[in-house]
Structure 1
Amino acid sequence: MAAQYGLRTKDASGVITLDTSITPIRSLKMLTVTGDGSFDQYISIPEIQAQSFVVVDTLEDRGEYTFSPQAWYSAGQLHLRQPQNLTWQVMVLSQGGEPFSASGSYGIRTFNNNVRTQIDAINKVLTVHYNGTFQIGTYWRPGMQTQVIEWASVTFPKPITTFERPLIFLNADNYMMVGNFHVMGGPGNWTGFRLKQWSQHYAHGSAADDYMTIRWYCASYQAPNTSAGQYGVSVRDAAGNRNFVTTANLSLLNSQPATNDFANAGDPITGTGYYAPSQQMPWTGSYDDYVLANALFSCTNIIQTSQPIRANFGGFLPGNRSILQMYCDNGSGINPLTANGRTLFASRPMKPF
């Protein structure tokens, strides 16, 4: 067994509250970028390292037509497609392998089997704030009237007050096919989220005839307001503001896509004047893993056509967690898009709900 160097804390019941052999999602840098109106825009961001990953998100709430640009990245560079002249939130995050960065004198650093954990006022960890379950979709059986819950709306108990949108993670008991995702509110006052069901009976079989039972959690870099109590660790900055406490539940990085985007695979959804291409990405195989909804299930705006706003929808196929399935709604039947797969990842909470 390899030597262990790091930190582990437990609460009074013996549940692990922090384990630095596991990678919490750490913020390396948050910034905004503004589009220059070009089709493809390349932006230098030196903080993007080989071990980093990036989430590009909108700061607007346009309802069901909220959209995010397609985004890719490599070391030192961000690539946005059709960012228009809008401002986008960029979060450079950590897989736990980057060298320690410069920071103040208040925080925690651990090195554990090549997993580096740094928690301070700059290197904040993603904390779970709220979680829940809802049902959405179509329910039909022979001799029964079809019942449809088309939209799900979730309101947080209290708003998330960060400038950037909170990250919403989705899972399902089995089948999940959703889109038109958006977070309600605005910078400093994010109040909840909303999404639409896209269940497809003829494409996915009888599982699409059942309500989808979807589990979710909201995570943010907003500082937790709980105390460490008698068991745990609390970190404050020079001004006494709490950056981290082990009684909070951390969002963990469990898998990051190894390729730049989805691959064209699976059967498309077709109809008269309609074509929704099928794209798939290898997934973790575990029903415990949640998928980041923010960029993946938001719409895409391709601007130059009569149908500029395209809904991305997808999720998990019946009984299958080996792939992540996506489609792009295309009522015109032309100009199919690929799903925005580079800025997503699998996550799970450190402590079970």
Structure 2
Amino acid sequence: MAAQYGLRTRDASGVVTLDTTVTPIRSLKMMTVTGNGAFDQYFSIPEIHAESFVVVDSLEDRGEYTYSPAAWYSTGSLQLRQPQTATWQVMILSRGAESAGGAGTYGIRTRNNSILTQIDSVNRALTVRYSGQFQFGQQSPAFIQWADINFPAAITTYERPLVFLNAADYMMVGNFSVKGGPGNWTGFRLKAWPFSAHGAAWNQFMTIKWFCSSQQAGVTSPGQYGASVRDGAGVLLFATTMNITSLNSQPASNSFVQAGPALTGGSWYAPSQQMPWTGSYDDYVLANALFSCTNIIQTTQPIRANFGGFWPGNRGILQMYVDNGSGINPLTANGRTLFAARPMRPL
């Protein structure tokens, strides 16, 4: 039997609330970068390591036209295409193996063979704040195109919260945006995309499950049972009573590839891209950035919608399209970044 190194806590009834020898906890470092108006802009970010995963997200609410720039990253470097002069949120997924210089003064780090946990005042854990379920799409004879979700109470972090989506089966969604702004995030919007090119699937009424996560603690400390972490100012960073968002990183690769038939209609078409997915119906996909729009600026159709999801009965592929009304200057989903995730405890 392998040596057991790590942290285990139980509640008053003896139920295990945290076991770092079984479940890794990967946390996020959030920061911002500001564009200088260049077509391609490169940022030096030492916190990006060879095995890191990075998501670049908007801090604005432009409704259905909320967009994020195409983003690529490599060790120590982030590339944004046409970031303009806006400020963007950058999220770097911890692997639990960062050097001591990159860790916060307050926190927890454990290692048990290949299972790593890092929660500290720099790389902070995501907590599930709210969750729910809704239906939209085709319901004969009507088509419900928009879902507009309000959180029970605003999330008051500067950073935009992360919304993760799943579906009972088929899902084809886009034009994602989080409502509100820094310090007052109030909900999210999502559009159902119908196309006959999807075959019979597009007639399905989609049942969407979701949860929202943030670095703002949603519960109090665990008292005499469990463990908690606070920063130097006494702000609660983590408690074993929280429902942590288990980030699984990207399932198989860091980009999409051209695969599958494009959607066409007259002069309009949307190229098809796919990437391997986890194969599990338990895994949610991060909506931020992936399902929001792209702005390519120097065209008559600058805002391009990204939409996609899952085919019926198939969680081995994540399917994406990029709306291209003009039939020129097609985009791809390459460079779009995402996480697969699930709540550590049932919702």
The TM tier, using the shorter chain, reads over 0.9
1:48 aligned partner: 48
Contact 1:290 1:348 (C-alpha < 8 Å) held by counterparts: yes
Map residues 194-209 of structure 1 onto 2, 5 A cutoff: 194-200=189-195, 202-209=196-203
Alignment partner for residue 348 of structure 1, among 324, 342, 347? Answer: 342
Aligned to 1:155: 150
Residue of 323, 327, 336 corresponding to 2:317: 323
Tell whether the 8 Å contact from 1:295 to 1:340 is kept in structure 2 after alignment: no
Where in structure 2 are the equivalents of 1:277-316 lying within 5 Å? 277-316=271-310
| SS of residue matched to 2:248 | strand
- Letter of the aligned partner of 2:319 in structure 1? Q
Could you list the runs of 5+ residues in structure 1 that have no partner in the other structure?
141-145
- Alignment partners' CA distance in 2, 1:324 and 1:13: 40
The DSSP-based 3-state class of the residue aligned with 2:315 is coil
Deviations 1:15-34 (A, max 9, x none): 5432324232312x322111
**Structure-1-length-normalised TM-score:** 0.93
1:347 Cα deviation after fit: 0.3
Paired residue for 2:85? 85
Q: Is the 8 A contact 1:65 1:180 kept in 2?
A: yes
Q: Following the alignment from structure 2 to structure 1, what is the Cα–Cα distance between the partners of residues 242 and 87?
A: 31
User: What's the offset of the Cα at 1:124?
Assistant: 1.2
* Count of aligned pairs: 346
8 Å contact kept, 1:52–1:98? no
Task: Give deviations 1:185-225, integer Å, cap 9, x for gaps.
Answer: 0001100000100032x222223212100000000111233
1:1-353 to structure 2, matched below 5 A, reads 1-12=1-12, 16-21=16-21, 22-27=23-28, 29-103=29-103, 105-140=105-140, 146-200=141-195, 202-340=196-334, 342-353=336-347
Q: Any idea what SS the aligned residue of 1:169 has?
A: strand
| 5+ long unaligned stretches in structure 2 | none
Identity of aligned residues (%): 70
Go from structure 1 to structure 2 and tell me whether the alpha carbon gap of 1:72 and 1:240 turns closer, same or farther (over 3 Å shift).
Answer: same
Q: How big is the shift at 1:260?
A: 3.5
Distance 1:257 1:75, change over 3 A: farther
Equivalent-residue separation in structure 2 for 1:241 and 1:84 (angstroms): 35
- 1:341 to partner: Cα distance: 5.0
1:106-128, Cα deviation, whole Å (9 max, x unpaired): 32221122333232222211111
Distance (Å, rounded) in 1 between the aligned partners of 2:337 and 2:15: 31
Give the root-mean-square deviation of aligned CA atoms: 1.8
One-letter amino acid of the counterpart of residue 203, structure 1? A
Structure-2-length-normalised TM-score: 0.94
